Amino acid sequence: MEKQTFSVSKTFLLGFGFFGVSVIWSLYNAYVPIFLKSTFGLRSSVIGSIMTIDNIFAILLLPFLGALSDRTRTRLGRRRPYILVGSTLALIFFVLVPYFNTVQILGLMMLAIILMNLSMALFRSPVVALMPDITPSKYRSQANGIINLMGGVGTLIATLGSGFLYGMGRMVPFVFGGVLVAAAVAMLYFFVKEPREFEAAAKEEEGLGALRGVKRISPEARRSLVSLMGAIFCWFVGYNAVETFLSSYGVSELGMSTGQAPLLLGVASLAFLAFAVPSGYIAGRFGRRRTIISGLAIFGALLVVNFFLRSATLIWPVMAIGGVGWALININSLPMVVDTAASDADLGTYTGLYYIASQLAAVAGPTINGYIVEWGGGDYNLIFRDTGLLPAGHPVYAGGD
């Protein structure tokens, strides 16, 4: 049911939620590995395992929490109770991480890390499900482009400002990030109202269980959903595998310095950010399936070119084009999944299913490509040759929009 017209201003307000989440994750990923290494002397393999806690929680909890939020009925709505509780707890434990690092208590720091990741998982599916909740189906790609733009701005602010803030004290970037997230959640609470017409549908379907939304669609639609999730898993495996080892590729194969190499991903990220909103509008004009296939073709061509490329000068425009291709794919992935739902009352369930595919890929991609690089004797060019985005003939090439 297309309840409302598409509101760009309301979508930007919703985007502040993604802005805040991006600030937290950017600061967390930038500083926690450094804390664990410099303060406690943990091995890189142990630190790597700790940094996958969020992916593990995402795989285990996001589908359940998305479906649970579909069935929740309070005076605050379906999603906002999870957002308010989860974000408040996340902020508390987020600020405690640098504090326990300063006082050098590893056990309490690990407890804060685990509880922060758990709190972030509590509201991740509900806050993402708010986008399709308030957006008619045909405009969801455009809306997803806007909220991804806001998330990217949050990442840029955290990345560019963190060094200056860190110079003022270890806890300052975390407190600053916490204030930004609190402000973003307040904007969501006061200015983004949830539709209430889903309550009756949720009451009627309570007996069908947590995944009632999947049971309600036809067998043919279910097969299409499985194929789509398989496709999403494949292209996220490809992206995460390349992302993880891109800096190593720059140092090993292109002769870049350790300081220069991370800029490769930065160029691709800026191109993605610039093309996030246009990608949604392109999908609105030509269809999501065609737009995603075009993005896969561009990104796949990037992998082939990079395998043969040995020029540190030519790599920059290639990475920018790759960022554009990834925007065409990524911006339209979630809307395709949630549009499979038989009813808008089940959007949290389908948001959780999307995260099953993408988070499994976030774990599998770097692991698989790590073994491939080792098998090849440390040849980082193999991250491009052996990264399969989507098998030819996959059902996504022949499916609906």
Question: Could you read off the pLDDT of 16-48 as tens digits, one per residue?
Answer: 888 888 889 888 888 898 889 889 988 877 887
Q: At what angle do helices 80-102 and 172-191 cross, to 10 degrees?
A: 170
Q: Whole-angstrom Cα distance, residue 75 to residue 129?
A: 18
Backbone angles phi, psi at 153, to 5 degrees: -65, -40
User: Which residues, 6+ apart, have CB-to-CB distance to 135 below 8 Å?
Assistant: 4, 6, 11, 143
Instruction: Give the DSSP H/E element, type plus range, for residue 15.
Output: helix 8-38
Question: Could you read off the pLDDT of 147-205 as tens digits, one per residue?
Answer: 999 988 888 888 778 778 888 888 898 998 889 889 888 888 888 888 766 555 555 45
Question: Which range has the top average pLDDT, 1-5, 251-255, 259-263, 387-391?
Answer: 251-255
Domain definitions of the chain by residue range: 8-204, 214-395
Q: Tell me, what DSSP letter sits at residue 259?
A: T
Average per-residue pLDDT in the chain? Answer: 82
CATH class of the domain defined by 8-204: mainly alpha
Would you say 71 and 206 are in contact if contact means Cβ atoms under 8 Å apart? yes
Q: Whole-angstrom Cα distance, residue 347 to residue 284?
A: 20
Residue 191 tokens read as 């200015």
Percent above pLDDT 90 for the chain = 27
pLDDT at residue 367 in the model:
76
3-12, 15-24, 269-278, 368-377: lowest mean pLDDT where?
368-377
CATH class of the domain defined by 214-395: mainly alpha
Which alpha helices (DSSP H) does 255-314 contain, by range? Answer: 263-286, 288-308
pTM (two decimals): 0.81
Give the residue from 350, 10, 68, 341 showing the smallest Cα distance to 195. Answer: 10
Same fold, 8-204 and 214-395: yes
